[in-house]
Amino acid sequence: MIIMKGKVQIVADVQEKEAENIISALKKEEVANARVSSKMEIKEGKLLISISAEDMVALRATANSYLRYLQMIGDFEDKIS
């Protein structure tokens, strides 16, 4: 049986204040368990979400969750602006 580990980084080009708000809103979504871990930070003025996983299923599921959260935040901002 082959088990593949993986890492992915999601970079969102947003203003620093918006990145801080996103991190604040999604802080509880950060994961740290035996299969996957994630971390959010502001680096060089951009939101950086780093995900490491012991298997591709956990990596894909976690990445998809963060991408959906970011899409939802963007959709919400479009509707109120």
Predicted local confidence at residue 4, as pLDDT: 85
Contact indicator for 13, 21 with CB cutoff of 8 Å:
no
Q: What is the pLDDT of residue 56?
A: 93
pLDDT in tens, 2-12: 778 999 999 99
Helix axes of 16-26 and 56-80: crossing angle, nearest 10 degrees: 120
Asked if the structure places residue 46 within a domain, the reply is yes
Range of the domain at 43: 6-80
pLDDT digits (tens, 9 = 90+) for 24-46: 999 998 989 999 999 999 998 89
Number of other CB atoms surrounding residue 19 within 10 Å: 20
Inside any domain, residue 1: no
CATH number of the CATH domain containing 69: 3.30.310.50
In a domain, 39, yes or no: yes
pLDDT single digits (tens) 52-69: 999 999 999 999 999 999
What total number of domains does the chain contain?
1
Q: Which residues of 42-54 are buried (b: 16+ CB within 10 A; e: fewer)?
A: eeeeebbbebbbb
What are the φ and ψ backbone dihedral angles of 5, each rounded to 5 degrees? -90, 160
In a domain, 21, yes or no: yes
E strand or H helix at 72, and its extent? helix 56-80
